[in-house]
Amino acid sequence: MAKHPLYLSSLGVVSALGTGKAETKATLAGKRNADMIKRSGFLSGRDTTLGTVTAELKKLPGHLSEYDTRNNRLLWAATCQIAADIHELIAKYGNERIGVLIGTSTAGIEEGTTHYQQRVESGKFPESFRYEHQEIGSPSEFLQTAFDLRGPAYSISTACSSSAKAFASGKRLLKANMCDAVLVGGVDSLCRLTVGGFDALQSLSDGVCNPMSKNRNGINIGEGAALFILRQDEGEIELLGVGESSDAYHPNAPHPDGLGAARAMQSALECSGVSPADIDYINLHGTATPLNDIMEAKAVHAVLGPDVPASSTKPLTGHTLGAAGAIEAAILWLSLYYSNIGTPLPVHLWDGEIDAELSRINLITSNQSLAPRKRLAMMSNSFAFGGSNVSIILGKGWTTP
């Protein structure tokens, strides 16, 4: 076990699961439906199912209006849930000792697309056009400005592993004593460029995605944000380990044997000091694309064995791309946080049609809870284009007295 424990002391979250911890937990427990909605306007001539945040997103405060995009509104919706904790953090450590690390892949690209379209049609940009909205660094700069933070602040954009990698970078900032705490998370908003791009790759599902099924035919894109406070001094939920690898097998296809995925999982185990037998649940990357599911099942089977409870939550959130690692870490956080009454495990939603080509893994097909126990450990996988692979392990009861 690591000599210097790290804690995720606070969580703000918004996605197709709902807004806030309670609503997200209720959706995961099947008490309300996730907002996986057929949407028009993203693809020419047809609708597509998208994980959508349906709650009204408030405009940003006046002094932050230059950052006003849907992406930053999503991040603000998550941030406001833990704003009091952030202010307490500033009072304790000072502005200079708090960093900001945000994973994203869309930033304000949707607003940019709309404004460029208006430029073509009318000959000029609207007054609201800001080139800076499209910059990947916008979310982290916005959050830093919102709280007048002066520690390191930057965004990470490695496609679908972006916000998972933010945990690794935050860990390094704390280890190097560059910060006393870091705001770590991810955000992505729906945009036509992204949805159209995945459609061009023939990767979009006809309906709600169907991970690990022999009938799977692609992903749903989603949107959302999750933000944590990562610190060394206190917290109930522990960041036990992060593992990274880069196999660079192909620009947009994973290694068929899951070698890079397995290396990331093994590295996370080594970093955390826990054994494969200690992992109580794994949240799969589980995109429902043929290649990802085959390789991930191989990697999970090889590293953790066939019996660890597993599920993909992308049929409930959509694939939130740069925000996926943070939102799926939030799902682990919630399961661990409520473990005193039995730890609920997210059900794997699919049609139950087993693909004989997939290595055997233990998909959670009905409501299950782990009995209360002193120590728990859970893993989440995030895999991206170009072979950027990250596995995160969160826990409870490992480093606390």
31: three-class secondary structure by DSSP: coil
If 0-12 CB within 10 Å is exposed, 13-18 middle and 19+ buried, where does residue 232 land? middle
Please state the length of the chain. 401
Domain assignments of the chain as residue spans, ordered by start: 7-396
Q: Which CATH class is domain 7-396?
A: alpha beta
Clarify whether 209 is annotated catalytic: no
Model pTM score? 0.96
φ, ψ for residue 324, nearest 5 deg: -60, -45
115, 133, 255, 285: which one is catalytic?
A: 285
160 is known as an active-site residue:
yes
pLDDT at 3: 56
The whole-angstrom separation of Cα 271 and Cα 393 is 9
Nearest CA-CA partner of 194 in 288, 73, 113, 291? 113
H or E segment to which residue 76 belongs: helix 70-80
In tens, the pLDDT along 155-204 reads: 999 999 999 999 999 999 999 999 999 999 999 999 999 999 999 999 99
Residue from 115, 133, 160, 301 carrying the catalytic annotation:
160
Angstrom distance (rounded) from CA 386 to CA 301: 23
Residues 6+ apart with CB under 8 A from 200: none
Does 87 qualify as catalytic in the annotation? no
Percent pLDDT > 90 in the chain is 85
**Tens digits of per-residue pLDDT, 28-54?**
999 899 999 999 999 999 999 999 999
Show the tokens assigned to 219: 């992903």
| Candidate list 115, 255, 319, 348, residue with the active-site label | 319
